[in-house]
Amino acid sequence: MTVTILFLGPLRDLAESPTLEVEAPLDWSGLLEAVGPQVAEQLGEQRVNVACAGKVLADKTQLHAGHGDEVALLPPVSGG
């Protein structure tokens, strides 16, 4: 019963590894606890989004990830 947390872009450098497996279910406070203080601080910023099971959450604090879900942490983007 696990949730995979995926660190994208610059958040990957703050995390110890690109992905992290945690126990399901996972909510917002569980996420903040799991990712460590540096990434948790970034998650507090409005510009950092969270996707669960391939959908960007309108309100990331309402995260509710179940077994098999992937939770992606999405820092500000830069394309082109």
Partner 1 sequence: MARLTIDTPLDVRLLDKGLSVGEALAAFNAAHGEAGGVVSFLGKVRPDGDVRALDLSHYEPLTLPGMRELAAAARDRFALDGALVWHRVGVMMPGEAIVLVATAARHRRDAFGAADYLMDHLKSAAWLWKRERRADGWRWIEPRGQDREDIARWE
Burial of 6 (0-12, 13-18, 19+ CB in 10 A): middle
Binder of partner 1 out of 6, 34, 40, 57 (CB under 8 A):
6
Cα separation, 69 vs 77, whole angstroms? 23
Stretch that binds partner 1, among 2-10, 25-33, 38-46, 60-68 (CB under 8 A): 2-10
Question: In this structure, what token pair is assigned to residue 56?
Answer: 């960007």
According to the binding rule CB under 8 A, does residue 59 interact with partner 1?
no
Query: Nearest-CA neighbor of 3 among 58, 75, 51, 39?
Result: 51
Q: Shortest approach of partner 1 to residue 10 CB, angstroms?
A: 4
Q: Shortest approach of partner 1 to residue 72 CB, angstroms?
A: 6
According to the binding rule CB under 8 A, does residue 54 interact with partner 1?
yes
